[in-house]
Structure 1
């Protein structure tokens, strides 16, 4: 590893182990470039998902904290961090199968051990179309092999396991998480559900009122906040007190051709890269 301009460590980013609806693959390069040039001692993510930005960053500050309100997400990260070898043993005989997909969809995750629950969650995320979290359907592509292939997945799991060394993993609401880790040297990257898609990650995980709560928190924090979200009149209004940068990204939202959408990068601080066209 090498040091960056702030004297902290630089590392090669790693890839998330599964797709995630709203994952930031198309925007990650721009976001990580901004993050790498913002001086901070603590990096904190209230809505980590599959870690689309967290894992792809090259800049490693003194402390890193990831959080998600989803118990399945946080259980997977904790298992990868602490029980990586046992997790591989749970996965090594798994194959891509519609029957197995349907069996796991019907399985109540609360009846499983933490290892079994993590294996179920990862399998469904890998084999469902579009990285959907709710309303999942078995994903098939005539031009590619099975979506769950342990021979290609194992090296990715190992990379994430190594990357999670020293990372604090929380399972809190964002209204608890942000005040807990807020201080002048903290950089929060926020990737909440898109406006109008609040239930895409499960009922009562996030509400429309939560956007205003997030904006209120951003106004009062001591640290810096970088937020990415879909571009709507409501979002522009709710976050009108902050810097807003409009960008175009391409996503596949259904089994059709990719489409271009407008998103906003919002911050409570000024930055040269957010002024560029």
Structure 2
């Protein structure tokens, strides 16, 4: 039975971490789910001899970190208080299924704007610069930024506009 056929429930935490790191490093565009075909001529970025040191570095970096697996609204409700800063990175408008089928719906953008409008803390969110996004989040601070995307090995750079949305001005 190959690595990907072994049920995750039979693995230790360390084995699951090693599997995830292996898949993430070898996946096209480092996208673990919903991969598309890609080829690189440099042999990939995974070096088995570096696995143990990489896992140790990751372990040290996340020591003391609490990782939650909650719907976005439940997470905000649990942690919202003055002094909290949330960074939100929902799927881009028009790409709602990118994080999984039916994980996030277009209707949730309006719900998110409503919830964020009542925050005690602060938030920063990035989204694509579409008219619908500007309209949905119009009551917040919106800053447009230029971004460049490239995929390894393709040599193409895509210039796009994104927006940073927040409930405070950057000079506050």
The two structures have a TM-score, normalised by structure 1, of: 0.55
Structure 1 residues 241 and 109 mapped into 2: Cα distance closer, same or farther (>3 Å)? farther
Question: In the alignment, what sits opposite 2:147?
Answer: 249
1:160 equivalenced with 2:160 (yes/no): no
C-alpha RMSD of matched pairs (Å) = 2.4
Question: Cα offset for 1:215?
Answer: 1.1
1:268 equivalenced with 2:167 (yes/no): yes
Question: Cα offset for 1:151?
Answer: 3.3
Structure 1 residues 206 and 114 mapped into 2: Cα distance closer, same or farther (>3 Å)? farther
Consecutive unaligned residues of structure 1, counting only runs of 5 or more, are 1-99
- Check whether the contact 1:134–1:200 (CA below 8 A) recurs between aligned residues: no
Consecutive unaligned residues of structure 2, counting only runs of 5 or more, are none
1:113 equivalenced with 2:11 (yes/no): yes
Q: Select the residue among 133, 141, 157 that pairs with 2:40.
A: 141
The whole-number CA distance in structure 1 between the counterparts of 2:30 and 2:59 is 21
- Check whether the contact 2:18–2:51 (CA below 8 A) recurs between aligned residues: no
Structure 1 residues 137 and 124 mapped into 2: Cα distance closer, same or farther (>3 Å)? farther
Question: In the alignment, what sits opposite 1:74?
Answer: none
Which structure carries more relative contact order (alpha carbon 8 Å, separation 6+)? 1
Structure 1 residues 141 and 259 mapped into 2: Cα distance closer, same or farther (>3 Å)? same
Structure 1 residues 172 and 157 mapped into 2: Cα distance closer, same or farther (>3 Å)? same
- Check whether the contact 1:130–1:254 (CA below 8 A) recurs between aligned residues: yes
CA distances 1:193-212 after superposition (whole Å, capped 9, x unpaired): 11111111211221111212
- Check whether the contact 1:191–1:229 (CA below 8 A) recurs between aligned residues: yes
Question: In the alignment, what sits opposite 1:131?
Answer: 30
Structure 1 residues 121 and 202 mapped into 2: Cα distance closer, same or farther (>3 Å)? farther
Structure 1 residues 239 and 133 mapped into 2: Cα distance closer, same or farther (>3 Å)? farther
Aligned length: 169
**Could you say what secondary structure the match of 2:67 adopts?**
strand
